[in-house]
Amino acid sequence: MIEASQLYKAFDGRPAVQGVSFTVPEGGRFMLLGTSGSGKTTTLRMLNRLLDPDNGQVLFHGKDTRSFRPEDLRRQMGYVMQQYGLFPHYTVAENIAIVPKLLRWDTSRIRQRTEALLQKLGLSWEAHAHQYPAQLSGGQQQRVGLARALAADPPVLLMDEPFGALDPVTRARIRQEFNELDEFKSKTVVMVTHDIRDALELGDRIGIMDKGRLIQTGTPEELQQHPANDFVAAFLHGKTDAP
């Protein structure tokens, strides 16, 4: 479904991502795991054309993403940002309705969908739909961010450190809730994280990144049993990273 090949991106002449290739089949859950500054976000941004690679290409349904209108491509890929990125001037309900509105859904369908999503994510229409993001806790904002990405039921979900801003306890709980969500189960997912537990719990394949390169790709078991080098081994045992 998503095929990245030989992605290369430099900022001011300094490569941030080089030679990155991976494939995510339909329904696959690919975890990009790596230290800070290793190029994970840059890689993710190239998938929905928030950035265009200097070299290499991304295929979506076998077609070069550059052949799509960028807006159409992005509306098929829900995007969850590390810093939530909610519209501060929109209510919770309005934030969730953004993509459905862009796709010209009718009002009652949007309302139904929003209510259902809020409920699935442990929020309620009555209590939260008309609140503004500033009135919510970090965990609640993150749920709204997820709901917004899921709202138009896109086939693909791109997530950049979706639990990054949460304390470890909340993080574990939301991760588990999320994992059990049937919404989530039907998606093709690419998720960036630097937390090994996120990757092991949510991923079916993991790519380890370091200094702009994808060092090793494999299932959680493969990586744990046959780490390609000391870096991967150390990383998987949580030694290089402070969560």
Ligand X SMILES: Nc1ncnc2c1ncn2[C@@H]1O[C@H](COP(=O)(O)OP(=O)(O)OP(=O)(O)O)[C@@H](O)[C@H]1O
Site residues (CB under 6 A) for ligand X? 11, 16, 34, 36-42, 194
Q: Rounded CA gap, 33 and 67, in Å? A: 29
User: Tokens for 53?
Assistant: 């690679």
Query: How far is residue 224 from each of residues 63, 118, 122, 205, 227, measured CA to CA in Å?
Result: 34, 37, 34, 12, 6
84 binds other proteins (CB under 8 A): yes
49 vs 205 by CB, closer to other proteins: 49
Strand-by-strand arrangement of the 2-11 sheet:
14-24, 2-11, 55-60, 63-64
37 vs 238 by CB, closer to ligand X: 37
41 binds Mg ion (CB under 5 A): yes
92 binds other proteins (CB under 8 A): no
Answer for the pair 74, 154: CB distance below 8 angstroms, yes or no.
no
120 binds other proteins (CB under 8 A): no
SS3 16: strand
Nearest distance from residue 11's CB to ligand X, in Å?
Answer: 3
Answer for the pair 80, 149: CB distance below 8 angstroms, yes or no.
yes
For residue 98, the partner it binds in ligand X, other proteins, Mg ion, none, with Cβ less than 5 to 8 A by kind, is other proteins
H/E element, 126? helix 125-128
Nearest distance from residue 159's CB to ligand X, in Å?
Answer: 12
96-104, 136-144, 174-182, 194-202 -> range binding other proteins (CB under 8 A):
96-104
Q: Radius of gyration over alpha carbons of the chain, in Å?
A: 18
Restricting to residues 21-50, which ones interact with other proteins according to CB under 8 A?
48, 50
* Residues near other proteins, by CB under 8 A: 48, 50, 70-75, 79, 81, 83-89, 98-99, 102, 148
By CB under 5 A, name the binding residues for Mg ion: 41
